[in-house]
């Protein structure tokens, strides 16, 4: 019975003795590395949100231009009675397309960087 009690008291001591001893210096290094990773993540998130907002702005501008083209310029005709070939539709498509690409690609600031997990 005494040997079981001694074993139960010694096992945690042996386990803690075998683990890495954490010194104050190693903890400070880990904290500094975590702070650096945290700051990088904050900067990457800000860059991603700025690009996402720019993409959203381009999408909205393209949709507004397309709406204007449909409702305002649809009845305009040239001197021969032919409807105008509205170049603004191509421009609005380009704005929406580039805004969508920018919006989707804005996540590159967050995903592509490999950050160590501590």
pLDDT at 93: 93
User: Please, what's the b/e burial string for 58-85 (b: 16 or more CB within 10 A of its CB; e: otherwise)?
Assistant: bbeebeebbeebeeeeeeeeeeeeeeee
Give the mean model confidence (pLDDT) for residues 54-66: 94
pLDDT at 79: 60
**Which residue from 63, 71, 57 is spatially nearest to 99, judged by alpha carbons?**
57
Q: Give pTM, 2 decimals.
A: 0.63
Residue 69 has pLDDT above 70, yes or no: yes
Give the mean model confidence (pLDDT) for residues 51-80: 83
Cα separation, 88 vs 76, in Å, equals 13
Cα–Cα distance list, 118 to 23, 29, 34, 35, 43 (Å):
16, 11, 8, 12, 20
pLDDT at 109: 74
User: Please, what's the b/e burial string for 96-116 (b: 16 or more CB within 10 A of its CB; e: otherwise)?
Assistant: beebeebbeebeebeeeeeee
Question: Hunting for tokens 């999408």 — which residue is that?
Answer: 59
> Residue 72 contacts by C-beta under 8 Å, 6 or more apart in sequence?
none
């Amino acid at each position: 019975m005494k040997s079981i009690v001694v074993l139960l008291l010694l096992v945690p001591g042996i386990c803690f003795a075998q683990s890495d001893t954490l010194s104050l210096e190693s903890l400070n290094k880990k904290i500094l590395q975590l702070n650096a990773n945290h700051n990088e993540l904050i900067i990457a998130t800000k860059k991603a949100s700025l690009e996402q907002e720019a993409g959203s702005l381009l999408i909205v501008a393209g949709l507004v231009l397309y709406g204007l083209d449909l409702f305002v310029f649809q009845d305009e005709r040239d001197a021969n009675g032919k409807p105008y070939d509205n170049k603004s539709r191509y421009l609005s498509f380009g704005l929406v397309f580039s805004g969508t690409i920018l919006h989707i690609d804005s996540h590159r600031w967050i995903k592509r960087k490999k950050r160590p997990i501590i």
